[in-house]
Structure formats: C-alpha cells, structure tokens
Structure 1
Amino acid sequence: MKWGTKYGPEYVNRLYAMVRRHLVGEFKFVCLTDRTEGIRAEVQCFPIPELTLPNGEPERGWKKLTTFSPDLGQRYGLQGTALFLDLDVVIVDDITPFFEVPGEFLIIHDWKRPWRITGNSSVYRFELGAHDDVLTQFCANQAQAKADFRNEQAFLTDVLHKQGKVKYWESSWCASYKYHCLPVWPTSYWREPFIPKGARILIFHGVMNPPDALAGRNNGNWRHARPAPWIAQHWCE
C-alpha cells in the first residue's frame, strides 16, 4: 500500500523487483494507492478501499485494515492467497516459503515485547476475503478500537488471535534492521551492519528506512549505525 507522499514510486518498483528475484513461479503484484504516477507497468494499481477516519487523529496505519475489504474481490476481482509487504522492507533471500507454511493467518511476532501476542504487520499472509470481519469490527466502533489499541497491528492480531487463527513466521525469517542487523554498542561504531543468519526479509520500523541504512544515518535511532553499502545490492531494480 502507498498513500500520500512519504514514499515515492521507487519504493514500489524496487519492491516488485525484489519479489521477482526472490519468488519462484508466477504471481500478481498489487499496489493499493492514491498515486499511480511513476509505478512500473508490471504492478497492478487499485484505489485504496474507503476507510473514513476522524480528522485530526493519528493515522497509525489503520488504512492497512482495508486489505480485508470485500472490495478487493467484489470490485477489483482479486482472490487467492495474499502476502502483504510493507513498502520499506528489503528482501534478501527466497520468499517462496512464506506461501508454503500452513495456517489461516501468519504474521511477524513483534520483537519489542515478545511476551505479548502482538504481531508486526510489515509481513502477513491471508486469504483474500477471508477476514472481512476484522474491518467490519473496526468500522463498527473505531473509538473503542483506538482506545484499546495503539495501532492497527495490535488490533488486527487481537481480533484474529481470539478466533484462534494467528500463527507467526519462523523467527529468523523477518529480521528487524534496528534490533538484529546493527552490531551491539559500542562495536556499532566500527562494525558494519550485517544480514542475520536465516533472514529472508529485513524490516525497517520506526525512523529508519533503507536509504538511511545505506548512508549510515540513524535518524534518532538509539544505536549508532555505520553505512550498510550491501543494502544497494538488494534494494534495487
């Protein structure tokens, strides 16, 4: 998904290229967006399904819940198994296994507080049209959902966990750049960031994005970061 101006079309185009390099077989690559300019022709673009949010409230990714909208099937003709990928992830190895693990709904187990059920929605897999009740429940009582949960990934995981449908990816597959790729302090001052063993997708959450990692900008991150020139080998068309 891409809305607003935070991410340019190069994020979509590079994500497509990474998927093409790291996924066996044919696939349909879809971007839900309000801006299609500059996006490569292999990407199918559709409008983001309508989700009315009260003015002035933090967005916090709630629009991502529209991936469960019936519109995707009824209006756009999309069906089958979907793997959602955040725009700013970097794929470094084969992602075919993400389509092979059994389960109704798979998501990253959030690293920051692993004792909680909360998932990180940078990468999740589901059957299109199977969980429209998630969106319905949010729309029916937005105020309560926002009072109980900080963002959409906490809400989403809670709803589907109560239905017994949540499973988590193999812990090594989705690595946090912030937590897993940066050497421990103080070695981060002289050691280059690295790809953790077993990682297939690197997740950029918080203030850092791939260009920051490439240049060695920490953007207020709590740990010093040297440049990671190897990012350019993966985050490219």
Structure 2
Amino acid sequence: MQTVICMKWGTRYGPEFVNRMWAAVQRNTARPTRLVCLTDDVTGIDAAVHCHPIPDINLPLDLINTPWRKLTLWQAPLADLSGDVLFLDLDLVITGSLDEMFDFEPGRYCVIENWTQMGQGNGNTSAFRFPVGKYTHIFNDLQDNPNDILSRYRIEQLYISREIDDMVFWPTLWCASFKHTLLPRWPMNFVKAPDLPAETRIVAFTGKPDQDEALRGEWPVKAAWKKLYKHVRPTPWIAEHW
C-alpha cells in the first residue's frame, strides 16, 4: 500500500482541495494507494480519506499556521504511518503518474529542487517523499531548541535542506512551478496560456494564483500597479487534472 499524505489547517483551503487530491491520486496511481490527511477539521472530507489530528509542535503562535507546522511529519511515531510516504501540499495539481515517485531512490528524502534557487542545494517542500522515523532529529531538535533554529533559518525547507546530508532531488521535469517554470515570461503571459509538459507529474501553485484562480485566468493582487505584469490567461488543462 502506497501512502500519500497532506495537511489541512485553517480556512484558506477547504475540504474540496483534499477531495480533489484524493480523486487525482486515484487517477494517477496503478497500485493500491491511500491518502492520509492530518487536519484540524474533518468536515466535508471524503470518508475514504484517512484523517488524523495534526500532532502538536512547539512553535511561536505567529508561526503555528505557517509551513513550519509541516515539521510535525518528522516525528515518530506518526499516526499509523511507516516506510516511505509521499507528502503533497494542497496548492498543487497532480498531472502524471505518482508510482515512479515511490520507486525513485527508496529510503531517502526526495524533494523538489527549489525553482528560484537552482544549484544552491535547497529543496522545495511542496512535494517530498521521506521514510517515516529516519530523520526524527529534524523534529526533535526544533522541539528542544526552537529559538536557536528559528533564528538561523528563515523557512522550514531551508532548515531541512541543511540538516539532511543524503537529500536527493526529483528529476527536474517531474515537478513544475506554475509561476516559475510554466507561466510564459512577460509580456507573453498576457497573450499565451501556460503549457503543460508531458513529463510533468506535479504542478505547484505556490503563493498566488491558486489552482481555481489560474483555471479562470485570475491573478489576485492588492497593489493595482502589479497588474502590469502579474497576469495569467485561462488555463484549461487545470480542469482536466485537478
């Protein structure tokens, strides 16, 4: 049984994001695969999704609802999980087979090479696979010395990248950033919709726009002047895969 895991807290991403992920996982795996969701609210989540409470973590209140909370995944025991599990953020679209992501470099921490820091050895934790219980120091050290770690690392994915010495990146074509690798460069983004390469398995929608917004061709911005360059055409392939 392959296990995909996600996390949902707060209100930005409703239960429909979990349910869409579950449907996409089923479409894009040929082997028995389950979806586990760690969440603070199970309301509206498909009964076939295995839900568990989000474990406690020692973080300042202003960081508890940030990606630092994902470090709860590095403790052991963790719900009923064991072996290699594939974590996926809710702000992504699965566009290809996930089975090879379970076969790639088994027993190691596999992660996206951060699109904005190529060649610097930094992972992006939108999609990563890890063996439960192997790297518990990631969680334990944060619990024992939160002030020290938070003073040295601005974001959690950089902390992980520096503390795991056998990290390996996914093949580059497998994981794409909607904004950083698929969106046509200005000014072509005003006239051309983003294409989806055939090799892509994961498309991450970090920041804005979210999946539904990009599908409609909307890019919410607070400052009006940013509309001069932040623009996306309606992107039909999102509806097919999301």
Query: How does the TM-score come out when normalised to structure 2?
Result: 0.90
Contact 1:49 1:69 in 2 (8 A): no
Query: Which residue of the other structure, out of 1, 9, 21, is the alignment partner of 1:3?
Result: 9
Q: 1:56 to 1:185 in 2, by over 3 A?
A: closer
Structure-1 residue corresponding to 2:21 = 15
Which whole-Å deviations, capped at 9, do the CAs of 1:17-75 have from their partners, x for residues lacking one?
10110011102210000100100011000011101322334743111011112131xxx
Residue 141 (structure 2) aligns with: 137
Contact residue 9 and residue 65 of structure 2 kept, 8 A: no
**1:226 paired to 2:233:** yes
8 Å contact kept, 2:183–2:194: yes
- What's the RMSD between the two structures over aligned residues? 1.5
Q: Report what 2:202 is aligned to.
A: 201
- Displacement of 1:228 in angstroms is 0.7
Q: How far apart, CA to CA, are the structure 1 residues paired with 2:60 and 2:201?
A: 37
Gaps of 5+ in 1: none
3-state SS in 2 of match to 1:112: helix
State how far apart, in whole Å, the 2-side matches of 1:65 and 1:143 are.
15
How far apart, in 2, do the equivalents of 1:13 and 1:93 lie? 17
Deviation of the 1:111 alpha carbon: 0.8
Of all paired residues, the percent bearing the same amino acid is 38
Matched, 1:60 2:66: yes
Shift of 1:128: 1.2
Residues 234 and 148 from structure 1, CA distance in 2 versus in 1: closer, same or farther, beyond 3 angstroms?
same
- Of Structure 1 and Structure 2, the greater strand share is in 2
Q: Structure 2: any 5+ residue segments left out of the alignment?
A: 1-6
**Which amino acid counterpart does residue 174 of structure 2 have in structure 1?**
W
Choose the corresponding residue for 2:75, options 69, 74, 79.
69
**1:29 is paired with a residue of what secondary structure?**
strand
TM-score (norm 1): 0.92
* 2-structure distance, mates of 1:170, 1:57: 31
**Count of aligned residue pairs for this structure pair:** 229
Answer yes or no: is the 8 Å Cα contact 1:93–1:200 preserved in 2.
yes
Q: What pairs with 1:18-97 in structure 2 (closer than 5 Å)?
A: 18-57=24-63, 59-72=65-78, 76-97=79-100
